[in-house]
A = this chain, B = another copy of it.
Amino acid sequence: MRYELFYWPSIQGRGEFVRLALEEAGADYVDVARQPASAGGGIRAMMRMLDDKSAVQRPFAPPFLRAGRQVIAQTANILHFLGPRLALAPKSDAGRLWVHQLQLTLADLLVEVHDTHHPIASSLYYEDQKPEAQRRTGNFIEERAPKYLGYFENVLAASRSRAGWVVASGFSYIDLSLFQLVAGLHYAFPQAMKRSRRQYPRLMALHDRVAARPRIAAYLGSPRRIAFNESGIFRHYPELDA
C-alpha cells in the first residue's frame, strides 16, 4: 500500500507526527504537497481535495492521508489508523485506545503551544498579538507545560515497559510523538527547557533513544526532515522564552 500524505510542504507542524511514523516503519509514502505540480503534487493538489465540497468525507484541514479509497484526517486519527498497519501500536483494542488517548492529550498540548504565539487569532501575525503572546507564554511555561510534561513523565514511570517505551507491548507511535514534542519544546523554549529538563529524565531519555533509532536518525539527517522554523507550531521567539 502506498500512502499519500497531504500537508503543508514547508513546515513540520502536525504533519510531522505522521511523517515520523511513516519513516520509522519504512513505509511506502508520498508527501504530496512537496512533489512538483508537474507530477500531480504541490499545494494545489492538497487544496483541491480540501475544497471539493461534493466529497462525502472531506477533511476540515491538513494533515490528511489517502490510503487507497480512504481519506483520513485529524493527526491522532491518522496515527490510530496507521498504528496497526505500520506495527506501531499495541495489538489489543484496549492498548490501541490507550495510545490514542495519549496522542489526543499530546494534541491538546500542541494547541496550547501554538497559542503561545497566536493567543488571539491564527489569521493575524504574531507581531499583531505580541503582548497577549507574552502573557499567554508566561502561563504556558509556568503552569501548562509542567502539567503536561509531568503527566507524560509519570506515564513513563508507571509503565511496565522494560525498554523504557510508553507501552509494555513495545515501541509505538506515541514514543515518536513524545520525541517530537520534546524536540519542538527545546527549539521553541531553549531557556525554559534548560531550566526544567532535569525534572523529566524519562522523557529526555526517551527523546534521545528515539533520535538514535536507525531509520529516525537517517530521516533526521535527510532533506526530508524540514527544519523547525517560525511558520510552524514550535516557534522560537527569544522574547517569549526570556
Which A positions have Cβ atoms within 8 angstroms of B? 53-60, 70, 72-74, 76-77, 80-81, 94, 97-98, 100-101, 104-105, 108, 111, 115, 119-121, 123-124, 132, 135-136, 139, 143, 148, 151, 154-155, 157-160
Residues of B within 8 A of A98 (CB): 57
A54-B158, A94-B70, A158-B56 known; A119-B136 Cβ under 8 A: yes
Q: Chain B contacts of A157 at CB under 8 A?
A: 53
A136 neighbours in B (Cβ, 8 Å): 119-121
Q: B132–A53 contact, CB under 8 A?
A: no
Does A101 contact B119, Cβ atoms closer than 8 Å?
Answer: no
List 23 A-B pairs, Cβ < 8 Å. Answer: A53-B154, A53-B158, A56-B158, A58-B154, A58-B155, A60-B108, A70-B94, A73-B105, A76-B104, A77-B100, A77-B104, A81-B97, A111-B111, A115-B115, A115-B119, A119-B120, A119-B136, A121-B136, A121-B143, A123-B139, A123-B143, A132-B132, A132-B135
Q: What chain B residues lie within 8 Å of A119 (beta carbons)?
A: 115, 119-120, 132, 136
Contact B159 A60 (CB under 8 A): no
Determine the chain B residues whose CB is within 8 A of the CB of A154 once the complex forms. Answer: 53, 58
CA distance A124 to B142 in the complex (A): 13
Shortest beta-carbon distance from A129 to chain B in Å: 8
Take A60-B151, A73-B101, A111-B108 as given contacts and tell me if A139 and B158 are in contact as well, using a CB distance cutoff of 8 Å: no
Q: How far is the CA of A76 from the CA of B120 in the complex (A)?
A: 25
